[in-house]
Amino acid sequence: MMDVGLPGPIDVRGGLLRRSLITENTTVPTRNAVLARLGTLVGIFLTWLFLLYQIGHNLPAYEEEIHLPTSFDDLKSQSVVLQAYSSAHFYPVLTLFTLVFVFKQTFSIPGSALMNILGGLLYGFWAFPWVSLLTAIGSTLCYRMSQIVIGEFIVARFARSNLGYLRRRVEINRESGNLFYYLLFLRLFPFSPNWFLNVASPFVGVPVAPFFFSIFIGLMPYNYVCVQAAATLAQLDSFADILSIGVLLKLLSISTIALIPALYGQKIANWIRGRTSDQSSKGNQQA
């Protein structure tokens, strides 16, 4: 049976952090090594930010003032202008949108809902599969950057969630053959700390392929809700109108779908094998 435990809180002040988050095989780096890793991370961040600035700065001019929305009200006030500008300069805007979206996902910067709505505003329904793919790509880049640049020691030192707890859950579900369903459940569950799952997964035994596809599939319902909200943007006052209690309950209901194969898949398989075996036995007896 699949263990569906979620990453729990930890005491970041005491020894529990050191005991539960850092494995025996984790190499404790020197201070200079830690600073070098953090410096590399900052360098990548600033380089990408500079690239985005250059692309945005060199976009074709427009008769009205326009900028990347930073809030829900900002998006509403610019919606007509943004749509007109995107229609006039489709590919430059799509390029900037794609790079900004992946940038925010890679560095776990809040605002995915705003970007999803913006995508729906600019590209309609086709934004749904596109932002789902970009979410998976950006999260996978975050996975790789955490694995290669940041390192387990830094994640264990600064992440305010229990890496050791998640590692045990991953091991349990891998042994039972339910790892993908567990990962899918975590992404479908609307209250999972996605940023932590992205940076922690390389160090708890999650392979990159199931990581990618669990995000691509698991966050589709959330992405769809946000993209579709663009169609009624003028009637909405805040994000709370999009992710209402009713919507959250629907997302919770959808997340249970991921549990069905894990909880009942083996029983169904055994029942099918039993039925097949009984029919074969009856056939042999009649022969």
pTM over cut 0.85: no
C-alpha–C-alpha distance, residues 127 and 110, integer Å: 19
Residues 162/8, Cβ–Cβ less than 8 Å: yes
Q: Which of 101, 99, 118 is nearest to 47 (CA)?
A: 99
Q: How confident is residue 64, by pLDDT bands cut at 50, 70 and 90?
A: confident
Report pLDDT for 157: 80
Higher per-residue confidence, 65 vs 273:
65
Residues 157/119, Cβ–Cβ less than 8 Å: no
Higher per-residue confidence, 129 vs 191:
129
Q: Which string of DSSP letters, residue by residue, matches 32-65?
A: HHHHHHHHHHHHHHHHHHHHHHHHHHTSPP-SS-
**Angstrom distances, CA of residue 224 to CA of 40, 194, 221, 229:** 35, 17, 5, 8
Q: What is the pLDDT of residues 175-234, one digit of tens each?
A: 888 899 889 989 988 888 899 999 999 999 999 999 999 999 999 989 998 998 898 887
Alpha carbon 232 to its chain's center = 25
Residues 48/90, Cβ–Cβ less than 8 Å: no
Residue 247 has pLDDT above 90, yes or no: no
Residues 29/153, Cβ–Cβ less than 8 Å: yes
Residue 46 has pLDDT above 90, yes or no: yes
Query: Whose structure tokens read 């900028």?
Result: 67
On the CB side of 65, CA atoms within 13 Å amount to: 3
Residues 6/173, Cβ–Cβ less than 8 Å: no
C-alpha angle 160-161-165 in degrees, rounded to nearest 5? 150
C-alpha–C-alpha distance, residues 37 and 145, integer Å: 10
Residue 276 has pLDDT above 80, yes or no: no
Residue 12 has pLDDT above 50, yes or no: no
Q: How buried is 253 (Cβ within 10 angstroms: 0-12 exposed, 13-18 middle, 19+ buried)?
A: exposed
C-alpha–C-alpha distance, residues 126 and 116, integer Å: 11
